[in-house]
Amino acid sequence: MAEREPGRELRVGVVGTGIMGADHVRTIATSVAGARVSAVTDLDAERARAAIAGIDGARVLSDPFGLVADDEVDAVLVASADATHEELVLACVQAGKPVLCEKPLTPAPEGSLRIVEAEEKAGRRLVSVGFMRRYDPGYVDVKESLREGVVGAPLLLHCVHRNASSRPNTPSSGLITGSAVHEFDVIRWLLDEEITQVTVFRPRPSSLVVGDTTDPLLVLLGTASGLLADVEVFVNAQYGYDVRCELVGELGSLYLDEPVQVRRRAERTRTSTVSLDWRDRFAEAYRRELQDWVTGAAAGEQRGADAWDGYVATVAAAAGVAALDKPGIPVPVELPPRPELYATR
Ligand SMILES: NC(=O)C1=CN([C@@H]2O[C@H](COP(=O)(O)OP(=O)(O)OC[C@H]3O[C@@H](n4cnc5c(N)ncnc54)[C@H](O)[C@@H]3O)[C@@H](O)[C@H]2O)C=CC1
Ligand SMILES: O=C1[C@@H](O)[C@H](O)[C@@H](O)[C@H](O)[C@H]1O
């Protein structure tokens, strides 16, 4: 990796400038200190050009591996399709460049394990995974309140994960690997313990969903200490994007609702808007995530969810996908011991 002059902005290269990549490019360009977008690439060059319109000094490159190797790219953000993550992240590790990879780290656990092994071989953590909820002020508050003992020992979690609509032909497994995977990560992060089993229930599907997708799903997670978490995943809920979480403890509960800006009262009715999608609901989380990644990368530190966290989430998701085929039957989540490299956080 080319040496960065102290004090110079971190030059970020972005692979994939679709919905998330374009959003991250805009956030880095407008709201993150100490970084600038140096290069972008996308299979659709027009999309890449549109993403950097008005951003001084940003270039469109044609090849993602060329972007990883580029001398004017200090750190890489991977926001391309899930199936591309593994080889791009491995290329970054080999090049010794910090990389923030969107979730899921890889579609299946084997790919994530290869990334963990590559980092172990390199002897350093370079990979961060885009589990942005760890930066959401609401989730951070729940974690801190829990740690301070505000509600006593945790017993149960009730979680809701609703999208307005999914992409056409999303398989039922996509509800687990694309959406519930955030819950798997945030639940183990909130509780600081591992998920040990996943059970999936398939209620009557919405008649508004075309194709074979079973939507909604109800997922029940068990943890190492015996806590239970239920997660409703409903990705065609029509009315908007809605993420909720209630942690029930021995002394009270911590309820995380949609952050409401204005609640209108008129004609004896109370109304407030619901988010359109994750970009507005988690805008501040993405900004904080990017800022922390940039600050850490500039200091030679890995921040946020690491490759091990990414791997564990894919193992839990794989158990969830297996559980889809045997509704009501728990499927164990089996993990190898956590490598030494990931012991300190
Ligand atoms: N953290 C979060 O809340 C969210 C994360 N995601 C994740 O972000 C990633 C991107 O998702 P979206 O932006 O929604 O998808 P998208 O389909 O809108 O964008 C993906 C882009 O990657 C490009 N691409 C695919 N293969 C490529 C390659 N080999 N080289 C360069 N460009 C390539 C496509 O042309 C497309 O423009 C996915 O991994 C997804 O799971 C998506 C939504 C929210
Ligand atoms: O990652 C995301 C999307 O891919 C997924 O489709 C949504 O359900 C999640 O809430 C969002 O954060």
pLDDT along the chain (345 residues), means of 10: 69 98 98 98 98 97 98 98 98 98 98 98 98 98 97 98 94 97 98 98 94 93 98 98 97 90 92 95 98 98 98 98 97 98 86
CB 100 within 8 A of CB 305: no
Q: Which residue has the tokens 């003992």?
A: 149
**What does the alpha-carbon distance between residue 311 and residue 110 come to, in Å, rounded to a whole number?**
8
Task: For ligand 2, say whether the CB of 163 is within 6 Å of any of its atoms.
Answer: yes
| Cα–Cα distances in angstroms (integers) from residue 10 to residues 34, 167, 211, 323, in the given order | 6, 34, 45, 43
Question: Which is nearest to 191 in space by CA: 247, 130, 230?
Answer: 247
**What does the alpha-carbon distance between residue 80 and residue 41 come to, in Å, rounded to a whole number?**
9
pLDDT score for 181? 98
- 333 token code pair: 């989540």
95 and 119 in a single domain? The answer is yes
Q: At what angle do helices 109-122 and 307-324 cross, to 10 degrees?
A: 160
264 and 141 in a single domain? The answer is yes
208 and 242 in a single domain? The answer is yes
Q: Which of 129, 163, 280, 282 to mutate to test the pocket of ligand 2 (most atoms within 8 A of CB)?
A: 163
166 Cα nearest atom in ligand 2: 6
From ligand 1's centre to the CA of 287, what distance in Å?
18
From ligand 1's centre to the CA of 118, what distance in Å?
23
The angle subtended at Cα 152 by Cα 150 and Cα 157, nearest 5°, is 95
Residues with Cβ within 6 A of ligand 1?
15-21, 41-44, 47, 64, 79-82, 84, 102-103, 130, 132, 178, 278
89 and 237 in a single domain? The answer is no
109 and 17 in a single domain? The answer is yes
Question: Which is nearest to 224 in space by CA: 63, 300, 335, 125?
Answer: 335
177 and 325 in a single domain? The answer is yes
How many residues would you count in the chain? Answer: 345
pLDDT score for 3? 57
Q: Which phi and psi angles does 39 have, rounded to 5°?
A: -155, 150
Domain count, the chain: 2
CB 315 within 8 A of CB 195: no
Question: Which is nearest to 310 in space by CA: 161, 77, 101?
Answer: 101
CATH number at residue 140: 3.30.360.10
pLDDT score for 258? 81
CB 306 within 8 A of CB 125: yes
- 219 token code pair: 């997922």
pLDDT score for 211? 82
Measured from the Cβ of residue 5, the count of other Cβ atoms closer than 10 Å reads 7
pLDDT score for 4? 58
23 Cα nearest atom in ligand 1: 13
pLDDT score for 183? 98
Q: Which residue has the tokens 């952050």?
A: 259
CATH number at residue 54: 3.40.50.720
Q: Which residue has the tokens 């398939």?
A: 202
Q: Half-sphere exposure (CA, 13 Å, Cβ side) for 238?
A: 4
Domain around 274:
134-282+312-335
**Maximum distance among all alpha carbons in the chain?**
65
**What does the alpha-carbon distance between residue 299 and residue 124 come to, in Å, rounded to a whole number?**
14
Q: Report yes or no on 342 lying in a domain.
A: no
